[in-house]
Amino acid sequence: MKEIEIISPDRIERRSMEIIETELGPTPHLSGTERTVLKRVIHTTADFDYRENLIFSKNAVESALGALRSGAVIVTDTNMALAGISKPALAALGCEARCFMADLEVAARAEAEGVTRAAASMDRAAELYAGKRLIFAIGNAPTALLRLCELTEEGKIAPSLIIGAPVGFVNVVRSKERLTGLPTPHIAAMGRKGGSTVAAAVCNALLYLLYDRK
């Protein structure tokens, strides 16, 4: 049977979610809100491997929602992830999202210390937003995730959530395994898969649990 053409953005998303719901099958290892986050990631990637690869620490979603209700700052490791996060939802909840990869102070620090800008940008965020409710969305740089783990272990930050979804081959798996060994609330895309779109999708899924887009 020829598929009926659907051109309305709302209908396309609704139909996509219906297909995902049908094909995903039971997820007894996930709560209802965790399943909602998973479906948004699959919607973004068309990759059902995330059914097994996307893991949630205990109360990770609840911790993130509490932070978003309190006007959290979401810090990303790429401008691509930043661009993908819903600005209307952020504004409605009194939250903001930032990326420091183009920050001149970050560039100077990275060069002086011989580290990546992604890692240095995590230090910059920790300094600027000390005492704020923070959500970190890492979709590209494992060096950023590793630095976050260090900052957390040193007691310099206490994030409400770390989204660990860097993609690639070098230090990627190790950074996610280190994250999942911490008591910090986290959502991680295990293995080599991930990306800025995944990090943004997780953020949006959380935002949409609180923000009615209708």
| Active-site amino acid positions | 43
Taking Cα atoms as reference points, which of 39, 143, 141 lies closest to residue 80? 141
CA dist., res. 132 & res. 204, Å (int): 20
Return d(Cα 92, Cα 115) in angstroms, integer. 36
β-pair partners for 97 = 74
Dihedral angle, C-alpha 194, 199, 202, 206, nearest 10 °: 170
3 Cβ neighbours under 8 A, 6+ residues apart: none
Helices assigned H by DSSP within 54-141: 60-69, 79-84, 87-93, 104-113, 117-128
